[in-house]
Homo-oligomer: A and B are copies of this chain.
């Protein structure tokens, strides 16, 4: 393939389809691509359950910390208050959560995990565990723990 006057010599198409070195070396790009893969896998695992990632995060929080206000729920999961509203609505409707006004504070609702919600959480956990194994299949157990630890440090630094 001779190089014509316009200088075109095949570009990216010459070989397979490598990722530009600039991107491969850019932590934010690598992290984001990994997140895309991770979300694809988890969304796939949750598909058919009628539950999304937001829901799982909130179920986890309620299971661990007990009944909480919507604002606290949002803070500990990193979900915006306004998005918590919709998520709680959906899960109340399915009988996984109960929402009641806080008698001690007229501004708050108290959101509680129902037994059905707890059961649902456990079944989701199993599905997600499989997805994690698939996601990290190229890493050893030690490496998997390392990656979580390093990323956790990154998160804690802000």
Contacts and interface: CB of A to CB of B under 8 A. Distances in A.
A107 interface: no
Interface residues of A, number: 83
Nearest to A137: B157
Contact of A72 (B17, B21, B27, B103): B17
Interface in A47-70: 53, 57, 60-69
A82 interface: no
Closest 5 CB pairs of A and B: A11-B68, A35-B35, A138-B157, A28-B38, A12-B72
Interface of A: 1, 4, 6-14, 17-39, 41-42, 53, 57, 60-69, 72-73, 75-78, 100, 102-104, 110, 112, 125, 128, 131-132, 135-139, 143-144, 146-148, 150-158
